[in-house]
Amino acid sequence: MFNILFNPKKAERHPVEMGLLGFLYASLSILLSVWIFPDYSSLVMVFLTVLPCVYIVQGILRLEESKEKDYLSEEWLLREHSRVLIFLLFLFVGFVFAFAFWTLVLPAETVSILFNMQGDVVEGIREMVATGDATSGEAFYLILFNNFKVLFISLVFAFFYGAGAIFILVWNASVMGFVIGDLARQTLGFVALPIAFTKYFLHGIPEMMAYLTVSLAGGVIYIAVWKGHFLRQGRLKRLILDSVILIVLSAIFLFAAAAIEVYISPLI
């Protein structure tokens, strides 16, 4: 299983194994951060989770950028991109499962230190939407505006740092995992996990697909600029078209996620 970390093509074909590795690396990072950097563990565990995944994600971006030269049609290219998005989504789910599991099983005092920053983010979001009705249009636009800020940051990270966009992936996984684990802890423990995952994955998956899609758009441009391929005849136009389509798709995902979060998730 570990050899797929050094083989982007194989990793792309085995997304479930990457999900398992995501769970393993996030778990290891949590334990190391608590042990070595307890006072800064909420951020250190994110960086430690990112580090072992940078190589494979960078390789995946190079692989996707190279497909531009074999361009057949935009429909064909989007099908190829969808395989990468599924791979990244499984990686994200593995991270979320790890963060949720450790939020549930670790002592409450340890969790409060380990997820200190994540807890502050969650409280900030709750306060932001607490001023109005949870199913109101105002709450929808507040959440949508906040999510579009994250979308823009994801694009910037991917455009300037390539695989560095995985930091946003892991950070969001840590926040979602904490929320899911905390909800289960406060209700029925492990028995409540399926309900907690359903409640937050319902809007969390399309929201994360938005961030992954826009990160892929920025990452492909980053690799093309880094290699100088965008200067080749016909490549620049295809790169721009491909990236614009991916960015539009990410915006659609984000609208859907915000609508589900405001109007459907509270009913679960």
Q: Has residue 1 got a pLDDT over 60?
A: no
**Is residue 226's pLDDT more than 80?**
no
Q: Supply the pLDDT for residue 250.
A: 94
Q: Residue 132: what pLDDT?
A: 47
Please say whether the beta carbons of 210 and 254 come within 8 A: yes
Q: Which of 2-6, 19-23, 139-143 has the lowest mean pLDDT?
A: 2-6
* Contact predicate 13/36, CB 8 Å: no
> Both tokens of residue 259?
């609508």
* Residues 113-137: tens digit of each pLDDT: 899 888 888 887 766 655 544 456 6
Instruction: Grade residue 173 by pLDDT with cuts at 50, 70 and 90.
Output: very high
Q: For helices 15-36 and 41-50, what crossing angle results, to 10°?
A: 140
Q: Which of 33-47, 63-77, 88-102, 233-247 has the lowest mean pLDDT?
A: 63-77
pLDDT above 60 (res 15): yes
Between CA 66 and CA 220 the distance in angstroms is 9
Q: Count CA atoms within 13 Å of residue 88 on its CB side.
A: 30
Q: CA gyration radius for the chain?
A: 19
Alpha-carbon span 195 to 192, nearest angstrom? 5
pLDDT of residue 168: 85
pLDDT of residue 48: 92
Mean pLDDT throughout 186-198? Answer: 77
| Whole-angstrom distance, CA of residue 157 vs CA of residue 171 | 13
> Residues 55-74: pLDDT tens digits?
788 777 777 767 666 655 66
Q: Quick one: pLDDT at residue 65?
A: 66
Mean of all residue pLDDT scores within the chain: 81
